[in-house]
């Protein structure tokens, strides 16, 4: 087994709406925020963990390709399963696919990054009144974060096919599909309630500009 290539996608994650990626809520205070954003422990600026981006991309691709298996990620490890090849077969230590192909870096804040408190509640279906109010912290719309994704290519990938692409190009196209899916749905929590709408900007593949 031999590594034959490495591609890198870079760009900017632009928040079209408020964005919330959950942090630690070990210390709750009366009148304080119920659900906070994750922040860098030194700078205290919000960031998006690479694991959150990778996990959402994987989930979207599993849904699109019919690879859902209950509440667990796909772990079939079949040679033709690009989900397992690119993201790794879930809970399967022994397989013939080789290393996980995708490397997703933490997304640092490069613009904005201020937070706001969004009030949420539950509506009583009988009376129409609001109950159980809580405050959710999210990054304000207009904020931007770095995007940096690596794609490792091995000689095992020569026979891969996706969207009329083969080999390493098929892996890159598969990752692009995942990014397109994130733009359609969103990132972080509260997507169905207005949060998490994003847009990828200034995208480049190995330094060459491309669009989704």
CATH number at residue 74: 3.30.70
In a domain, 96, yes or no: yes
Q: Return the DSSP state at 73.
A: P
Q: How confident is the model at residue 72 (pLDDT cuts 50, 70, 90)?
A: confident
- The answer to whether residue 210 sits within a structural domain is no
For residue 160, the model assigns a pLDDT of: 95
Please state the domain count of the chain: 1
Question: For residue 39, what are the β-bridge partners?
Answer: 46
Rg (CA), the chain: 19
Model pLDDT, residue 124: 62
Domain that holds residue 128: 3-205
- pLDDT band, very low/low/confident/very high, at 68 (cuts 50, 70, 90): confident
38 domain residue, yes or no:
yes
Strand partners, 131: 122
| 27 close to 89: Cβ distance less than 8 angstroms | no
Contact assessment for residue 71 and residue 49, using Cβ atoms and an 8 Å cutoff: no
Cβ neighbours for 134, distance < 8 A, ≥ 6 positions apart:
34, 35, 119, 120, 121
How large a percentage of the chain has pLDDT more than 70? 90
Asked whether residue 160 is domain-assigned, the answer is: yes
Please report which confidence band the pLDDT of residue 129 belongs to, taking 50, 70 and 90 as the band edges: low
Q: How far apart are CA 25 and CA 182, in angstroms?
A: 26
Q: Do 177 and 57 contact (CB within 8 A), yes or no?
A: no
Those residues whose C-beta lies under 8 Å from the C-beta of residue 15, and which sit 6 or more positions away, are 112, 139, 140, 141, 142, 143, 144, 145, 197, 198
Answer whether residue 116 is part of any domain: yes
CA–CA distances in Å: residue 200 to residues 88, 119, 124, 182, 203: 24, 27, 38, 9, 7
pLDDT band at 30 (very low <50, low <70, confident <90, very high): very low
Asked whether residue 198 is assigned to any structural domain, the reply reads: yes
Q: How far apart are CA 177 and CA 28, in angstroms?
A: 39
Q: How far is the C-alpha of 48 from the C-alpha of 36, rounded, in Å? A: 13
Residue 104 lies in a domain: yes
DSSP 197: -
- Decide if 211 is inside a domain: no
Of 202, 70, 80, nearest to 146 by C-alpha is 202
């Amino acid at each position: 087994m031999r590594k034959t290539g490495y591609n890198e996608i870079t760009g900017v994650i632009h928040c079209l709406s408020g964005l919330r990626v959950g942090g630690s809520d070990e210390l709750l205070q009366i009148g304080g925020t119920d659900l906070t954003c994750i922040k860098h422990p030194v700078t205290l600026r919000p960031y998006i963990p690479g694991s959150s981006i990778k996990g959402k991309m994987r989930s979207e691709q599993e849904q699109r390709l019919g690879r859902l298996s209950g509440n667990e990620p796909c772990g079939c490890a079949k040679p033709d399963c690009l989900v397992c090849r690119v993201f790794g077969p879930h809970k399967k230590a022994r397989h013939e696919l080789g290393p996980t192909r995708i490397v997703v870096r933490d997304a640092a804040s490069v613009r904005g990054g201020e937070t706001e408190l969004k009030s949420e509640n539950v509506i009583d279906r009988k009376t129409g009144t609001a109950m159980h109010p809580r405050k959710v912290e999210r990054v304000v719309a207009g904020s931007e974060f770095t995007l940096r994704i690596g794609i490792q290519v091995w000689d095992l990938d020569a026979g891969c096919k996706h969207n009329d692409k083969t080999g390493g190009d098929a892996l890159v196209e598969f990752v692009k599909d995942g990014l397109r899916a994130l733009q359609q749905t969103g990132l972080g929590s509260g997507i169905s309630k207005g949060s998490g709408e994003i847009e990828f900007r200034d995208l480049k593949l190995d330094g060459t500009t491309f669009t989704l």
